[in-house]
Amino acid sequence: MFAGKTVAVFSLPGAYTPTCSSTHVPGYNELAGVLKQNGVDDIICISVNDAFVMNEWKKTQEADKITFIPDGNGEFTEKMGMLVDK
């Protein structure tokens, strides 16, 4: 997935959270052109949600320039040392 590419990956605590929906996702979507001009091939958002939630969130955010990847069971996030129990 990342082989031979320059990828900007960001993770968020959850879909539809207020700051993530109002600031983070729109910000990356708006900066996509600048990032691509500077050699970024793909922008990826990872969150501990299932695929259905992530797909709907992407639609409601109109974030067509970002690839949303679900981490439904939190395994990837945990292995990265970023899983937060709330």
* From 15, 20, 32, 66, active-site residue: 20
Q: Are 72 and 49 in contact (CB under 8 A)?
A: yes
Q: Are 44 and 67 in contact (CB under 8 A)?
A: yes
Token pair in block for residue 70:
């679900």
DSSP 66-81: SEEEE-TTSHHHHHTT
| Whether 20 is catalytic | yes
Token pair in block for residue 20:
């993530």
Instruction: Give me the active site residues, please.
Output: 20
